């Protein structure tokens, strides 16, 4: 994440014309992300990436104030209300908070307050500090103690009328408990969903094929903004009160006093709220809450500091879209502290044993994380990770979360180092051995020696076989494969293509009665017919997909394409591999001569095709499908021999279609940018790859320019 200094420095290098163009571009991009976040509950970038866009936009306006007009994003909050709901105009605007990302930002915040109020260094400023709930802002309007309106923040001036939905929340009183309440009273706070409720909801949504949410915030927003209040009522939503809007009279003269009054009226307030009297106490509170973050059942993304005296809040007032008297001190967006509840071992399709930390759920980079890879057992020993440890985890982009370090001072006694396993965790308890490289050196990976006799490897092979880049059978995903394998209906790829013939003679595990798939829970005549049609549609497949689907170690998509193009047909490839398995030196030399094929791949092919069990499976599969010959790439196109990287969202065609088109025209499609990259095709939402391409001087093309080039 870029620092303020970095952002400001890069803006300083822009000419006036460049700054104006960049300002307009950022406005359009930020506006798009605001709509996705506030109206559609479907953000496509992390909070850190969004904050970086905002900081750059604001830095440009700071340098060129003439760009700060009434239409500027710095003068607006959120996004316009959705047309799905009636609009509610807020009597008092619902503004957002400025963010602090470093301790120095907090010191600057306190310093600005001192200067504005003309306070001396010895004059005490009392702050109410509270966790920053990551939910949906809500304003509840009471008249004569009765709830009359519930409205979202919207653009800060107008929100969406969700009164009927809000009334279904247990945490929202329909009538204020106190006898004497202001005639008009607007209570503001955050609608949220607990982590355990979020996980349960996602499981139910996945079971019925509904929308699965990335994090509790999106889930809460999506649940509250339903046209049918009954759906909202079925979702476990909570509400924390912490602010106010229009009040005909004030029940207290401090922020903390107002929180106590909310609680006396029947609202839930955050029990972790604390009074702080110095910068040191504010920063200590931030550290304390970050350490507790994993143990909380609701999502937070920082803490909020508010001047406690309301008369000082009124004097400080607001600047553009934010109050001068409050600030949100955010947690590092891609890192978090959590607790290791368990360590389990996953067995991959190639037999590699991967230890995985089962974590207390915590949101990192906009996603609720429950697992983190520990890579291998050498890494466990290096970090000395133990069950019960508090650990710092990191998630960057699409990378699987990983454990960075153990917080040793929080280790609970007694704990023991995690032992290196001697057997596979599968029911066969097969021996494991440490991987050896081609040169005979020991590697870091432990591998099960059971091969496809190991049920864990077998099922992972099947999942790989039906995956999107392999056979891509619609309606036959990981969940279905697990169920069919557990019942003994699909044990190898060929079984997929005989499932329809065997339907009606299937037996459920533990029963001898014959059954049909249509009679199973979650299935019906229509869904089963769709599944069988999808399987039938994959009886013919491209050679490179077929090779990739076999799940041969070290043979990924790119290698499969190279092998397919190098041999042309399944028959030629199969014969070459059989010769290779018999240690035919000529076959080895011919394989080695192919582009992108080296010793590691050749050794994997040798081992795979030397195994009689594998050959029998292949023969049974080949009897069920037709493998198309490889397409010959063109050598006369504008991109023949070039290396291309796609990034961002493509709007004219799907990413997979674009890659296939590039490869047909003789280009190599890469997943990352390097000095060997010739072109990068960047759509909306392009991230770090685009920056790397600029650094290396790679030719950057829009999707339109790319289309013209390949045309």
Task: Note the pTM of the prediction, 2 decimals.
Answer: 0.57
CA gap 3, 539 in Å, rounded: 54
CA gap 646, 683 in Å, rounded: 8
Lowest mean pLDDT among 246-250, 264-268, 579-583, 644-648: 644-648
Q: Using one digit for the tens of pLDDT, what is the confidence trace for 682-698?
A: 888 787 888 888 989 99
Quickly name the fold that domain 643-710 has.
Rossmann fold (3.40.50)
> What's phi and psi for 173, nearest 5 deg?
-65, 140
Token pair of 475 as six digits: 């309606």
CA gap 325, 32 in Å, rounded: 29
Inter-CA distances, 499 with 198, 483, 534, 536, Å: 36, 13, 12, 11
pLDDT reported for residue 396: 61
Given a contact cutoff of 8 angstroms between Cβ atoms, the answer to whether 324 and 111 are in contact is: no
Q: Supply the mean pLDDT for the chain.
A: 86
Q: Cα torsion for 556, 560, 562, 563, to the nearest 10°?
A: 130
CA gap 37, 35 in Å, rounded: 5
pLDDT reported for residue 349: 86
pLDDT reported for residue 6: 45
What confidence category does residue 365 fall into, taking pLDDT thresholds of 50, 70 and 90?
confident
Please spell the DSSP secondary structure of 168-221, one letter per residue.
T-TTS-SB-SSSS--SEEEEEEEEEE-HHHHHHHHHHHHHTT----SSHHHHHH
421 DSSP assignment: P
Residue with tokens 């924390």: 240
pLDDT reported for residue 156: 84
CA gap 125, 315 in Å, rounded: 14
Does residue 169 have a pLDDT over 70?
A: yes
Given a contact cutoff of 8 angstroms between Cβ atoms, the answer to whether 449 and 433 are in contact is: yes
In a 10 Å sphere around its CB, with 0-12 CB exposed, 13-18 middle and 19+ buried, how is residue 294 labelled? buried
pLDDT reported for residue 684: 83
Looking at the chain, the number of H-run helices and the number of E-run strands are 25, 28
Render the burial of 664-700: b for 16+ CB within 10 Å, e for the rest: ebbbbbbeebeeebebbbbbeebeebbebbeeeebee
Helix (H, G, I), strand (E, B), or coil: what is residue 559? helix
Q: Using one digit for the tens of pLDDT, what is the confidence trace for 467-518?
A: 988 999 988 988 899 989 988 999 999 999 999 999 988 888 878 888 888 8
Does residue 184 have a pLDDT over 90?
A: yes
Strands (E), 15-145: 87-89, 99-100, 127-133, 136-143
683: Cβ contacts below 8 Å, ≥ 6 apart: 646, 647, 648, 649, 650, 651, 702, 703
So what's the architecture of 335-449 in CATH? Beta Barrel (2.40)
CA gap 513, 288 in Å, rounded: 59
431 DSSP assignment: B
The arithmetic mean of pLDDT across residues 19-42, rounded, is 75
462: Cβ contacts below 8 Å, ≥ 6 apart: 481, 485, 490, 492, 493
Whether 643-710 and 4-75 are alike in CATH topology: the answer is no
One CATH from 3.40.50.720, 1.10.150.20, 3.90.79.10, 1.20.210.10 for 541-628: 1.10.150.20
Does residue 435 have a pLDDT over 70?
A: yes
One CATH from 3.30.1050.10, 3.90.1150.10, 3.30.470.30, 3.30.540.10 for 99-330: 3.30.470.30
Does residue 668 have a pLDDT over 60?
A: yes
Q: Using one digit for the tens of pLDDT, what is the confidence trace for 249-308?
A: 999 999 999 999 999 999 999 999 999 999 999 999 999 999 898 889 998 989 999 999
579: Cβ contacts below 8 Å, ≥ 6 apart: 586, 587
Helix (H, G, I), strand (E, B), or coil: what is residue 252? coil
CA gap 57, 10 in Å, rounded: 12
The arithmetic mean of pLDDT across residues 582-611, rounded, is 88
CA gap 221, 213 in Å, rounded: 10
CATH number of 451-538: 1.10.150.20
CA gap 706, 711 in Å, rounded: 8
CA angle 450-453-457, nearest 5°? 75
Instruction: Give the residue numbers annotated as catalytic, written as ranges.
Output: 132
The arithmetic mean of pLDDT across residues 620-631, rounded, is 93
% pLDDT > 70, the chain: 92
pLDDT reported for residue 15: 80
The arithmetic mean of pLDDT across residues 14-26, rounded, is 82
Does residue 595 have a pLDDT over 70?
A: no
* For the chain, domain boundaries: 4-75, 99-330, 335-449, 451-538, 541-628, 643-710
114: Cβ contacts below 8 Å, ≥ 6 apart: 120, 121, 123, 125
Render the burial of 343-356: b for 16+ CB within 10 Å, e for the rest: bebebbbbbbbbbb
CA gap 314, 319 in Å, rounded: 12
Residue whose C-alpha is closest to residue 613's, from 550, 567, 548: 550
What confidence category does residue 76 fall into, taking pLDDT thresholds of 50, 70 and 90?
low
CA angle 668-670-674, nearest 5°? 110
Render the burial of 212-237: b for 16+ CB within 10 Å, e for the rest: ebbbbbbbbbbbbbbeebeebbebbb
Helix (H, G, I), strand (E, B), or coil: what is residue 532? helix
CA gap 686, 690 in Å, rounded: 6
Quickly name the fold that domain 4-75 has.
Helix Hairpins (1.10.287)
């Amino acid at each position: 994440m870029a620092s303020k200094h970095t952002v400001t420095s890069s803006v300083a290098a822009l000419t006036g014309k460049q700054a104006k163009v960049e300002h307009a571009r950022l406005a359009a991009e930020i506006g798009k992300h605001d709509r996705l976040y506030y109206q559609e509950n479907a953000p496509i970038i992390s909070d850190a990436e969004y904050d970086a866009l905002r900081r750059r936009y604001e830095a440009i306006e700071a340098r060129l104030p003439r760009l700060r007009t009434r239409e500027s994003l710095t003068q607006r909050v959120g996004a316009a209300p959705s047309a799905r709901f009636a609009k509610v105009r807020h009597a008092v605007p619902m503004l957002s908070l400025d963010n602090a990302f470093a301790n120095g930002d907090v010191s600057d915040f306190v310093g600005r307050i001192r200067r504005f109020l003309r306070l001396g260094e010895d004059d005490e400023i009392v702050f109410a500090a509270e966790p920053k709930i990551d939910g949906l802002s809500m304003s509840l309007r009471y008249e004569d103690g009765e709830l009359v309106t519930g409205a979202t923040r919207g653009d800060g001036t107008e929100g969406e009328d969700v009164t009927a939905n809000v009334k279904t929340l247990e945490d929202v009183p329909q009538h204020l408990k106190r006898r004497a309440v202001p005639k008009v009273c607007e209570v503001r706070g955050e609608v949220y969903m607990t982590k355990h409720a979020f996980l349960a909801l996602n499981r139910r949504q996945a079971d019925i094929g509904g929308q699965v949410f990335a994090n509790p915030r999106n889930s809460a927003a999506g649940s509250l903004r339903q046209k049918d209040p009954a759906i909202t009522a079925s979702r476990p939503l909570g509400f924390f009160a912490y602010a106010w809007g229009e009040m005909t009279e004030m029940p207290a003269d401090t922020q903390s006093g107002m929180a106590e009054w909310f609680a006396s009226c029947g609202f839930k307030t955050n029990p972790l709220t604390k009074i702080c009297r110095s910068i040191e106490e504010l920063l200590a509170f931030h550290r304390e809450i970050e350490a507790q973050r994993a143990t909380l059942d609701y999502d937070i993304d920082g803490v909020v500091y508010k001047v406690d005296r309301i008369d000082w809040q009124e004097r400080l007032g607001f600047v553009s879209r934010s109050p001068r008297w409050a600030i949100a001190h955010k947690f590092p967006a891609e890192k978090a502290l959590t607790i290791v509840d368990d360590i389990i071992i996953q067995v991959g399709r190639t037999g590699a044993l991967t230890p995985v930390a089962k974590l207390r759920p915590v949101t990192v980079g906009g996603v609720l994380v429950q697992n983190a890879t520990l890579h291998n057992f050498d890494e466990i020993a290096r970090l000395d990770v133990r069950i019960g440890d508090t650990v710092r985890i990191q998630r960057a982009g699409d990378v699987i979360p990983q454990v960075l370090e153990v917080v040793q001072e929080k280790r609970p006694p007694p704990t023991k180092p995690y032992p290196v396993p001697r057997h596979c965790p599968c029911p066969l308890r097969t021996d494991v051995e440490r991987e050896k490289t081609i040169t005979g050196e020991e590697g870091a990976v432990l591998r099960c020696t059971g091969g496809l006799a190991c049920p864990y490897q077998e099922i992972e092979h099947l999942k790989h076989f039906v995956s999107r880049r392999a056979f891509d059978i619609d309606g036959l995903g990981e969940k279905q494969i697990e169920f069919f394998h557990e019942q003994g209906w699909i044990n190898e790829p060929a079984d997929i293509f005989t499932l329809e013939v065997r339907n009606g003679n299937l037996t459920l595990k533990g029963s001898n009665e014959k059954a049909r798939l249509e009679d199973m829970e979650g299935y019906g005549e229509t869904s089963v017919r769709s599944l069988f049609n999808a399987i039938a549609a994959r009886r013919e497949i491209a050679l490179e997909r077929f090779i990739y689907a076999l799940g041969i170690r070290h043979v990924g998509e790119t290698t499969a394409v190279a092998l397919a193009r190098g041999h042309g047909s399944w028959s030629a490839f199969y014969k070459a591999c059989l010769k290779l398995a018999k240690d035919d030196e000529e076959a080895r030399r011919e394989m080695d001569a192919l582009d992108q094929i080296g010793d590691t791949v050749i050794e994997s092919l040798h081992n795979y095709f030397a195994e009689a069990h594998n050959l029998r499976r292949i023969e049974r599969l080949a009897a069920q499908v037709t493998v198309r010959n490889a397409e010959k790439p063109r050598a006369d196109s504008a991109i023949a021999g070039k290396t291309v990287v796609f990034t961002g969202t493509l709007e004219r065609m799907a990413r997979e279609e674009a890659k296939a088109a590039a490869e047909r025209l003789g280009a190599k499609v890469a997943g990352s940018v390097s000095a060997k990259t010739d072109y990068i095709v960047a759509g909306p939402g392009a991230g770090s790859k685009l920056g790397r391409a600029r650094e290396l001087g790679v030719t950057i093309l829009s999707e339109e320019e790319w289309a013209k080039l390949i045309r």
